[in-house]
Amino acid sequence: MSIHLHNAAGNTFDLSGGHWAVYLTLAQAYGWKPRGTERPPALPASQPWSGQYASRDGQIVGDAEAKLLAQILHAAALSDKLGTALTDVINNIEEQIVRAGTPIGDAMRMQPQDFKTEFSPLLKFLYQGRFIID
């Protein structure tokens, strides 16, 4: 599953669902307390909204929340424990996937170095503020 982030300025950021889960979990490990996303505009009012970040429903991450997420991930990137934290988060997420019945082949397993090239561009995107997940 691919995650597409975009904002009102027309900037976009695409990443895998697995990587998005790692970033969200890493931010929580560094103290982020998710406030929840805003209801997707296209969702009928009769349907409840959970505030989740992991789906691709057109939900909105508010300006302050996006910038806070950027700040916390930025702090994580500067931490001398980032490699260990990434490894722990990746292992935890992959264990949950396997426990849910989806096998992960060795070639599909994530590694901390997989995040090197997208970490900074993601931070730049998040620092721009409010965005939509779809």
User: Quick one: which of 112, 23, 117, 6 has its CA closest to 70?
Assistant: 23
Task: Tell me the domain boundaries of the chain.
Answer: 2-42+50-133
Q: In what order do the strands lie in the sheet with 12-16?
A: 12-16, 2-6, 131-133, 59-61
Residue 23 pLDDT level (bands cut at 50, 70, 90): very high
CB 38 within 8 A of CB 59: yes
User: Quick one: which of 70, 52, 90 has its CA closest to 13?
Assistant: 70
pLDDT digits (tens, 9 = 90+) for 26-51: 999 999 999 999 999 999 999 999 99
**How far apart (Å, rounded) are the C-alpha atoms in residues 17 and 126?**
16
Residue 53 has pLDDT above 80, yes or no: yes
Report pTM. 0.91
Q: Which two tokens stand for residue 118?
A: 């997208």
pLDDT for 79 equals: 92
